[in-house]
A and B are shown apart, each in its own frame.
Chain A
Amino acid sequence: MRKLFLAAALAALPAVASAQYGDLFVWGQVRYTGAWDPYPGVHAEVLKFLNEVTSVLEAPERRAVTLQSPELFSIPFLVLTGKQAPPTLSEEEAGRLRDYLTSGGFLWISDASGVAGSPFDAWVRKTLRGVLPDTDLRPLGSDHVLFRTFFLIRRIGGRAMVSGSLEGVDWGGKTVVVYSRNDLLGAWAKDPLGGYLYECVPGGEAQRMDARKLTLNILMYALTGSYKADAVHQPFILEKLRSGLP
Chain B
Amino acid sequence: MGFGLALDSGSLEWAAAGAAALGYALLWPSLRRLPRPVAALRAAAAALLVLVLLKPVVHTLEQRSVKPRIAVLVDQGPGMQAVDDTGISRLSRAARWLVSHRAALESRAEVNLFAASGGARRLSWEDLAGLRPSPGVLEPAAVFSDVVNSGLPVSRVWLFSDGAFAPGAALSGGGSTHGAFKDGGPRAAAGGAALDSLSAPLDAFGVGPQRELPSVAVTEADSPDFVFLHSRFAVSAAVEVSGVAGRELRLRLLQDERTLSEKTFRVERPFEVFRATFPVSADGLGRQSFRFAASLADRKAEKSLKASRAFRIEVIRQKYRIMYLAGRPSMEYSHLRAQLKGDPNHELVSFVILRNPEDFSPVPDNELSLIPFPATEIFVDTLPQFDLFILENFAFHQFQLPAAYLENLKRFVSRGGALLVIGGSQAFTKGGYRGSPLEEVFPVALVPQSDDFIPGLFKPAVAAPKHPFLQMADTPEVSLGLWNSLPALDGYTRFSEVRPGATVLLAHPAEKTASGAPLPVVAVREFGRGKVMLVGTDSTWRWKLGGGLDWKLSSFYGKFWSRAVQYLTGSLELPKVKFSPLPDRMPAREPAVLALHVFDEHFRPVSGAELDLRVVWTVPGGAQRSPAVFESEPGVFQVELSRLAEGTHRVRAIARYRGQPWGEDSAEFRWEGGRGDLTLNRRGLKDLASRRGGKYSDLHQVDLNAALAALPPSRREQGVGSRRNLWSWPGWLWLIAGLLLWEWLLRRRRGWL
The residues of A with any CB-CB pair to B shorter than 8 Å are 6, 10, 13, 15-17, 19-25, 52-57, 73-74, 76-77, 96, 99-100, 102-105, 148-152, 172-174, 209, 212-213, 220, 222-228, 230, 232-233, 236-237, 240, 243-246
Contact = CB atoms under 8 A, between A and B. Distances in A.
Contacts of A76: 331, 334-335, 541, 545
Interface string B531-558: 0000000110110111111000010010
B579 to A, nearest CB: 39
B333 A224 contact: yes
Given A55-B353, A224-B329, A232 B545 contact: no
A67 to B, nearest CB: 12
Contact of A54 (B355, B490, B548): B355
Contacts of B356: 55
Contact of B334 (A17, A100, A224): A224
9 contacts: A21-B455, A55-B329, A103-B546, A103-B548, A103-B554, A152-B368, A223-B330, A236-B370, A240-B369
A23 B329 contact: no
Given A57-B425, A152-B368, A225-B337, A23 B359 contact: no
B361 A23 contact: no
B103 interface: no
Contact of A53 (B327, B359, B366, B393): B359
B433 interface: no
A76 B338 CA distance: 14
B112 interface: no
B487 A23 contact: no
Q: How large is the interface on B (under 10, 10 to 19, 20 to 34, 35 or more residues)?
A: 35 or more
A100 B359 contact: no
Given A152-B368, A230-B350, A173 B359 contact: no
A54 B545 contact: no
Contacts of A21: 455, 490-491
A209 B362 CA distance: 9
A223 B329 contact: yes
Contacts of B355: 53-55, 150
A148 B361 CA distance: 15
A57 B545 contact: no
Contacts of A19: 457, 490
B623 interface: no
Given A16-B455, A53-B362, 20 more contacts: A19-B457, A20-B457, A21-B490, A23-B491, A54-B328, A54-B329, A56-B328, A76-B335, A76-B541, A103-B545, A103-B547, A103-B554, A104-B544, A151-B363, A172-B342, A212-B362, A223-B333, A226-B341, A240-B368, A245-B367
B454 to A, nearest CB: 8
B22 interface: no
Interface string B605-621: 00000000000000000
B354 interface: yes
Contact of B352 (A24, A209, A224): A224
A54 B457 contact: no
B226 to A, nearest CB: 29
A73 B487 contact: yes
Interface in B35-84: none
Contacts of A243: 366
Contact of A17 (B328, B360, B457): B457
B396 interface: no
A103 B544 contact: yes
Contacts of B12: none
Contacts of B371: 232-233, 236
B13 to A, nearest CB: 76
Contact of B455 (A10, A54, A148): A10
Contacts of B151: none
Contacts of B328: 54-57
Interface in B315-345: 327-335, 337-338, 341-342
A99 to B, nearest CB: 4
A22 B491 contact: yes
Interface in B358-410: 359-363, 366-371, 393
B290 interface: no
Contacts of B87: none
Contacts of B363: 151, 213
B352 A99 contact: no
B349 interface: yes
Given A53-B355, A149-B369, A223 B331 contact: yes
Nearest to A174: B338
Nearest to A217: B369
Contact of A225 (B334, B393, B490, B544): B334
A10 B354 CA distance: 22
B548 A22 contact: no
